[in-house]
């Protein structure tokens, strides 16, 4: 029997999950049993587009569709309740990042997974980017010497917080929505050190003038164990005329080498009829028309979601949870990222560095 999967949240990224799990279903790797969304308009839209059975709440989805696993693709601050309810109902869980917006909430989810002996994975898709995998291998082989410092930037165009999610972006931030990606992948690249000190600054101007009470940008400096320094620049106010929905990159410097990764411009620039010049990230997401006219989705954004399905299938043939350690981004690893994010917001409020134990 293939794993039965339900999705909670049918918004912009919820649609990405719908595409992936429909594709996995066609390949015989899972069965998509339903989508829950509190918005009736969204339920009607996704049912029409994907033929998926829809439900008004995650509880109704769990009770009526009886999935083996639940995928949580809701706004950041809603993850905890849904994930814990699913785990307590005996479902495995894949949660979009961040796991929660409080350390306590994240730990509560991890404890629920342990208590119920269920898989808890987090969709940190940057671990699947080919350049990040190569960099991790280079660091492990000592080709950069000892990593001393690094910095990353991830920035969205302003329509993301202003037009896509004006209701909940004030409950999130550039760090929660964007910065956690690079905080996680940098920790993963250098061997998952713990943070010692976090200091953050930020700006509130552009979005406030547009009627959205959210941070424009946040800069977080993190001191990790082994003296590793990391600075994260996260923003979601790039102008609408910018050539990509996301601008991003990473630079890592060691005692014997350095690596620079441009995650936004990957060598393809398009200027098509009635469109501005664009640089699309086809490594993250790509659509290909097959010979039979169907669409196949690929890219590291797809691989990260499909990995969860692979873990479910391994469990279904007798693997134990312990045997899967290290094969996926776990809830336990995600707690440290939440701890850093929470410290950054505490530093924003106090104007002082936050020391972590």
CATH value at residue 253: 3.30.360.10
Shared-domain flag, residues 131 and 121: no
Whole-number pLDDT of residue 45: 97
- How many domains does the chain contain in total? 2
Cβ atoms within 10 Å of 89's Cβ, excluding its own: 16
- Does this model's pTM top 0.85? My answer is yes
Shared-domain flag, residues 138 and 15: no
Query: Which residue range is the domain that position 31 belongs to?
Result: 4-125+291-329
The per-residue pLDDT of the chain, averaged, comes to 96
Of 69, 77, 111, 91, nearest in space to 338 by CA: 77
What's the CA gap between 354 and 173, in Å, rounded? Answer: 18
275 pLDDT more than 90: no
Percent of the chain with pLDDT over 70: 100
Which of 105-114, 165-174, 238-247, 275-284 has the weakest average pLDDT? 275-284
For the residues of 247-295, what is the DSSP string, one character each? Answer: EEEEEEEESS-EEEEESS--S--B--TTS--B---TTT-EEEE-TTS-E
What's the CA gap between 201 and 188, in Å, rounded? Answer: 24
Predicted confidence band of residue 90 (pLDDT cuts 50, 70, 90): very high
Query: Is the backbone of residue 283 left (phi > 0), alpha (psi -120 to 50) or beta?
Result: alpha
Please state the rounded mean pLDDT for residues 107-121.
98
Q: Cis ω on the peptide bond leading into residue 203 (within 30° of 0)? A: no
What's the CA gap between 277 and 333, in Å, rounded? Answer: 38
What's the CA gap between 228 and 226, in Å, rounded? Answer: 6
State the CATH number of the domain containing residue 116: 3.40.50.720
Whole-number pLDDT of residue 6: 98
Whole-number pLDDT of residue 239: 96
Shared-domain flag, residues 208 and 296: no
Q: Which residues pair with 7 in a beta bridge?
A: 35, 71
């Amino acid at each position: 029997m293939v794993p039965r999967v339900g999705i909670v949240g049918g918004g912009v990224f919820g649609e990405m999950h719908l595409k992936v799990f429909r594709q996995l279903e066609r390949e015989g790797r899972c069965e998509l049993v339903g989508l829950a969304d509190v918005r009736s308009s969204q339920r009607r839209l996704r049912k029409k587009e994907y033929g998926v059975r829809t439900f008004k709440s995650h509880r109704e989805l769990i009770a009526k569709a009886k999935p083996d696993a639940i995928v949580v693709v809701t706004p950041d601050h809603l993850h905890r309740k849904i994930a814990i309810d699913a785990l307590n109902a005996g479902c495995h869980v894949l949660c979009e990042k961040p796991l929660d917006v409080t350390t306590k909430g994240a730990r509560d989810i991890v404890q629920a997974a342990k208590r119920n002996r269920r898989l808890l994975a987090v969709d940190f898709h940057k671990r699947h980017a080919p350049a990040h995998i190569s960099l991790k291998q280079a660091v492990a082989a000592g080709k950069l010497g000892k990593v001393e410092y690094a910095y990353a930037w991830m920035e969205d165009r302003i329509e993301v917080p202003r037009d896509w999610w004006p209701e909940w972006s004030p409950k999130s931030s550039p760090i929660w929505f964007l910065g956690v990606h690079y905080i996680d992948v940098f920790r993963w690249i250098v061997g998952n050190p713990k943070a010692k000190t976090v200091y953050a600054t930020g700006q509130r101007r552009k979005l406030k003038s547009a009627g959205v009470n959210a941070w424009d940008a946040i800069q977080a400096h993190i001191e990790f164990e082994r003296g590793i320094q990391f600075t994260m620049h996260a923003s979601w106010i790039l102008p609408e005329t910018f050539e990509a929905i996301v601008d991003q990159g990473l630079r890592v410097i060691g005692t014997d080498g350095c690596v620079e990764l441009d995650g936004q411009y990957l060598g393809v620039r398009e200027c098509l009829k009635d469109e501005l010049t664009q640089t699309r990230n086809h490594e993250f997401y790509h659509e290909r028309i097959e010979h039979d006219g169907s669409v196949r989705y690929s890219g590291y954004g797809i691989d990260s979601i499909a990995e969860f399905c692979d873990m479910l299938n391994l469990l279904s043939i007798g693997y134990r949870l312990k045997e899967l350690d290290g094969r996926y981004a776990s809830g336990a690893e995600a707690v440290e990222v939440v701890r850093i994010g929470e410290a950054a917001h505490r530093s924003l409020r106090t104007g002082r560095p936050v020391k972590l134990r």
